[in-house]
Amino acid sequence: AKRSSVTLQHGAHRLGRRTDPAMARWRAYGLGQFLHWGVYAIPGGHWKGKYYAGAAEWIRSWPEMPKEEYDNLYKQFNPTGFDARAWARQAKEMGARYVIITTKHHDGFCLWPSKYTSYTVAHSPYQKDVIGALTDAYKAEGIDVYLYFSIIDWNHPGYRASLNTPADRQAYEGFKTFTRNQLLELLERYPACKGLWFDGTWDKAWVEQAAFADSLETELRSKIPGLVIGSRFRADENGKRHFDSNGDLIGDYEQGWERKIPDNIQQLNGNDWDCVMTIPENQWGYHSDWKGHVKTSTELLEMMVKCNAMEGNFVLNFGPDGNGKIREEETRLAREIGDWMKTNSEAVYNCGYAGLEKQDWGYFTRNRQTGKIYLTIFNRPVNGKVRVRLPAGRQLRTVRELKGATLKTEEIRKQEYFIELKIPAGNIPQVLEMELSEGS
Ligand code: JFZ
């Protein structure tokens, strides 16, 4: 049944996925790194001996935090331990193919020397352009750079969450001009940037700017061919976010999977998507004292492959400290993930949905170019035999370890097989490659 559709001025610009090479490149990343860094890394989730239980990058909004004191923290921003190349090397070692960097979070502090505000790194004791250093360093490692930008800006005098009076509206016009200037400035300064990751777009004031945001998005896209922008930038004229009033995705990929992963591929309606994930439960910026569960590398690897198996990119967040260092826990996880990626990344890069039903032992992924099908085993059966079911018309031809032996298989019933694993049970997810043939 055809759904009813309304005519929109500012809805989706396109139905279905982008098919151009820049988007194919985005789709092939598999694994990305998110970086949340700003002046919130200085208090690191504490103020005057008190513990802030919220996300560290939100500490300014805490009643215990005097706003004038927070807004002067930049005078202490002097991360002498910051080495952009060390971060980039670590990301490369982990296997990240792209990075998303906070140029400006909700607090408004700019990690680049913006000429439209004095609340930037240029006016801190550090002075140097952090975004420039990171862009160069990641590029040198072959990692594509995406810029995170918060529309919410607690520092700008014209920023409003809602527009209730003519004076608000007037102030907000100044804020819109400022926002446009900053975005154009970023693309001009960092032309290697492959895309923008927008945030802080849920306020009523911004949601009402459908026409402005739509024309700004078009303008930004005209500056860098192939620029990738997700669904979290603009709303349609009815205030619908991510999906317009017809249910069609706004932007290039669904950007709503924040610390959560869809259960099945049907939920995604064929759209591209990313999942951004924290290592502790909900901390993006540096919090010196993580409470609660901290994810392990095998948990994170499972999340990544699960995303890949449903055509998504997995983006793991890092929150460097106020001195510019990446904490020990994050460094260890990056190394563990990288160790696994060194042997197994062919099941990740440019791999997506294999067209086979999800099974108990783990995830199928399929390389979009070669068509090779991989099995990543997270739940190893106690008998050491992986039970694989295939759809009618397809038969199992061979299964092998990556760069290893062919494994013994047994047809246990029609279109259902045991694969006998060779390596002993352990805590490292194993990847197998499988060849199928047509036939019943
Ligand atoms: C936002 C920020 O507020 C947060 O500090 C962090 O930068 C994160 C990546 O993005 O937080 C969100 C945004 C969207 C959702 C949840 C938290 N969401 O869509 O569920």
Are 376 and 343 within one domain? no
Are 102 and 248 within one domain? yes
From the CA of 57, give the closest atom in ligand 1: 5
Cβ(256) – ligand 1 distance below 6 Å? yes
List the residue whose alpha carbon is closest to atom 1 of ligand 1: 199
| Residue ranges with strand state E in 36-124 | 46-47, 50-51, 98-104
Are 252 and 369 within one domain? no
CB 411 within 8 A of CB 390: no
- Scan for tokens 């993580």, then name that residue: 290
Whole-complex ipTM = 0.95
Pair of tokens at residue 191:
């032309």
Q: What is the pTM of this model?
A: 0.98
Is residue 285 scored above 90 in pLDDT?
yes
Residue 186, pLDDT score = 99
393-411 CB burial, b ≥16 within 10 A, e <16: eeebeebebeeeeebebee
Tell me the pLDDT tens digit for each residue of 194-215.
999 999 999 999 999 999 999 9
CATH of the domain at 169: 3.20.20.80
Helices marked H in 208-349 — which ranges? 210-223, 297-309, 328-344
Are 126 and 224 within one domain? yes
Examine residue 7 and state whether it is found in any structural domain, yes or no: no
The domain total for the chain is 2
Examine residue 4 and state whether it is found in any structural domain, yes or no: no
Is residue 2 scored above 60 in pLDDT?
no
Torsion angles phi and psi, residue 173, rounded to 5: -60, -40
C-alpha 153 to ligand 1 mean position (Å): 14
DSSP-assigned letter for residue 175: H
Residue 344, pLDDT score = 98
From the CA of 36, give the closest atom in ligand 1: 7
Are 327 and 382 within one domain? no
CATH of the domain at 358: 2.60.40.1180
Which residue, 161, 158, 162, is CA-closest to 173? 158
Residue 403, pLDDT score = 86
Examine residue 214 and state whether it is found in any structural domain, yes or no: yes
For residue 185, with 0-12 CB atoms within 10 Å meaning exposed, 13-18 middle and 19 or more buried, which class applies?
middle
C-alpha 172 to ligand 1 mean position (Å): 23
Are 360 and 223 within one domain? no
Is residue 440 scored above 80 in pLDDT?
no
Are 394 and 335 within one domain? no
Examine residue 2 and state whether it is found in any structural domain, yes or no: no
Tell me the pLDDT tens digit for each residue of 307-329.
999 999 999 999 999 999 999 99
Torsion angles phi and psi, residue 164, rounded to 5: -110, -15
Boundary-marking domain end, from 315, 350, 385 = 350
DSSP-assigned letter for residue 362: E
CB 176 within 8 A of CB 215: no
Examine residue 14 and state whether it is found in any structural domain, yes or no: no
Q: Best mutation site among 152, 199, 282 for ligand 1, i.e. most ligand atoms within 8 A of its Cβ?
A: 199
Is residue 141 scored above 80 in pLDDT?
yes
Are 369 and 243 within one domain? no
Distances (CA, A) of 432 to 163, 360, 378, 406: 56, 15, 12, 9
The span from the CA of 411 to the CA of 418, in Å, is 7
- Mean pLDDT, range 372-380, rounded to an integer: 97
Task: Return the H-helix or E-strand segment holding 89.
Answer: helix 84-94
Q: Best mutation site among 284, 286, 315, 317 for ligand 1, i.e. most ligand atoms within 8 A of its Cβ?
A: 284
Are 218 and 330 within one domain? yes
Boundary-marking domain end, from 330, 350, 370 = 350
Are 328 and 253 within one domain? yes
From the CA of 317, give the closest atom in ligand 1: 9
- Mean pLDDT, range 155-172, rounded to an integer: 98
Cβ(55) – ligand 1 distance below 6 Å? yes
- The percent of the chain in helix, strand and coil, each rounded to the nearest 5, is 30, 25, 50
C-alpha 339 to ligand 1 mean position (Å): 29
3-state secondary structure of 212: helix
Tell me the pLDDT tens digit for each residue of 21-64.
999 999 999 999 999 999 999 999 999 999 999 999 999 999 99
How sure is the predictor about 1, in pLDDT bands with cuts at 50, 70 and 90? very low
The span from the CA of 41 to the CA of 169, in Å, is 33
Are 396 and 343 within one domain? no
Q: Give the whole-number percent of the chain exceeding pLDDT 90.
A: 96
C-alpha 82 to ligand 1 mean position (Å): 25
Tell me the pLDDT tens digit for each residue of 214-247.
999 999 999 999 999 999 999 999 999 999 999 9
Q: Most distant CA pair in the chain: distance in Å?
A: 75
Residue 426, pLDDT score = 86
Tell me the pLDDT tens digit for each residue of 80-103.
999 999 999 999 999 999 999 999
C-alpha 256 to ligand 1 mean position (Å): 9
Which residue, 117, 104, 191, is CA-closest to 148? 104
Are 294 and 409 within one domain? no
Examine residue 279 and state whether it is found in any structural domain, yes or no: yes
Domain that includes residue 92, residue range: 21-350
- Scan for tokens 């190893």, then name that residue: 380
Examine residue 260 and state whether it is found in any structural domain, yes or no: yes
The span from the CA of 413 to the CA of 416, in Å, is 5
